[in-house]
Copies of this chain bind each other. A is one copy, B any other.
Amino acid sequence: MLETEELWEENVRRVTPYTPGEQPQQKNIIKLNTNENPYPPAPGVREAMQEMDIDLLRRYPEPYGDPLRKALAEETGVEPEELFLGVGSDEVLALAFLTFFHGEKPVLFPDITYSFYDVWAELYRIPYRQISLNEDFQISKEDYIFPSEGKDGIGGIVLANPNAPTGVELNPETLEEIIAAHPEVVVIVDEAYVDFGATSVQPLLKKYNQLLIVRTFSKSRSMAGLRLGYAIGNKKLIKYLYDVKFSFNSYTINQPTIILGQAVLRDRPYFEKTVRQIEETREKSASRLESLGFKVFKSKTNFLFVTHPKLDIPDLFEWLKKRGIFVRHFNKPERIRPFLRISIGTEEEMEALFTNIKEYIIGKEK
C-alpha cells in the first residue's frame, strides 16, 4: 500500500523536514549534541509546578500568554506589545517567515547557519538565496549590504548572531550597517545564543522598525522541554506577527508554560550563575581541545565548533557515540563535514569527553 501513489497524494505538500539532533532515550549517556543546558531549571520552577492550580487546565489559556508576556516585558525592558511568544523560537521563526517574507524576492541568509532557515523557506515556498560564509566562516557584510540582486531586489534577511553551528559572533557595528542598509525588508536577528557572552542588537530597535529579534528559553534558561521562545520588535511588526499567529492557532502557550516561564524569570541570580559557569567551562574546554590539536572557533555560545587537521571527524563522531557521548555532526553543507559541534556540558561531562578523545587519538597513533 505504501508503494503506489494514491490520487489524493497529488495535493500533498512535499517537503524535506529539518533533522533535529538525536534524542537518545537511554540513560547514562553524555548528551552534548543539541545545545541543551547541563544545569537544571531554576529551583523555583519545581515549587511553581507543585503549586499550580490544576483547575486552570480546563480553561483556555490567555491568548497572548499573559501574565508571562508581562513578566518577560519587565525582564527585557520593553512593552508587552513589543513581545511575541511562541512554542520555542522555532515557532516564532516559522511564523515570522510566513508573515514577513510574503513576496517574490529572495530572502538572504548564510549557507552555514541554523539549518532550519531553508526548511522554512521551502515549506512556505519563499524564494531564498544562501550566501557563502568566507573561509573563516565569517559573514562578509558586503554580500548583504550590496546583494547581487541589487538594493531593492531582496525580500528579507535572516542572520543568527552568534551564528550556529559556528558559534561566531558578528560585531554589532557590522550588523547595524546591514540592518541600516535595508529599511525596505524585515531583518530577523536570531539571538538564540546571545546570553552566553555576545552583544544583543536590542538597542537598535529604537532606530530600525524593520528589525525583529528572536530568542529562546531553551538554552540559557534551561527550559528546552517547555518550548518557549519570543520575538522583540516594534509594535506594528509584532501586531502583524500576532495576526498570522491568530490565523494559525489561537492558543499556543499552554498554562504550564505561562506558570513555569514566570518562575524561571523570577530567579535572575540563578540564570546569571549558570550562564557564567557555562562560559567558564567553554573557555577551559576550548583551550584543552586546542592543546589536543583541534582548531576551535571563538565561541560566544554554549557550544564549540571544532575540526582537526589530522583526525577523521565522522569517524571520531561515531566512535564517541559508541561510548555514549553524543556530539553533533552535520553532513551538509559539504564544507562543514570535517567539523563537530560540541555542546558545553558540566565540568565532569567535558572531562569524560576529553578522556575519550585522548583515547581515540592514542588509538590512532598506534
Interface residues of chain A, those whose CB is within 8 Å of chain B, are 1-2, 6-18, 20, 23, 25, 31, 34, 36-41, 45-46, 49-50, 52, 54-63, 87-88, 90-91, 94, 98-103, 105, 116, 119-120, 122-123, 155-156, 183-186, 209-210, 218, 222-227, 234-236, 240, 242-252, 254-257, 260
Contact = CB atoms under 8 A, between A and B. Distances in A.
A336 to B, nearest CB: 20
B243 A17 contact: yes
Contact of A11 (B54, B94, B186): B186
B23 A60 contact: yes
Chain A interface SS verdict (over half): loop
B123 A225 contact: no
A246 to B, nearest CB: 3
A254 B251 contact: no
B45 A7 contact: no
Contacts of A99: 12-13
Given A45-B57, A90-B250, A251-B88, A12 B227 contact: no
Contacts of A119: 247
How many monomers of this chain does the complex have?
2
A248 to B, nearest CB: 5
6 contacts: A11-B103, A49-B256, A57-B226, A88-B249, A227-B254, A254-B257
A45 B49 CA distance: 12
A36 B12 contact: no
Contact of A94 (B6, B15, B54, B249): B249
B225 A59 contact: yes
Contacts of A36: 58-60
Contact of A247 (B17, B57, B243, B257): B17
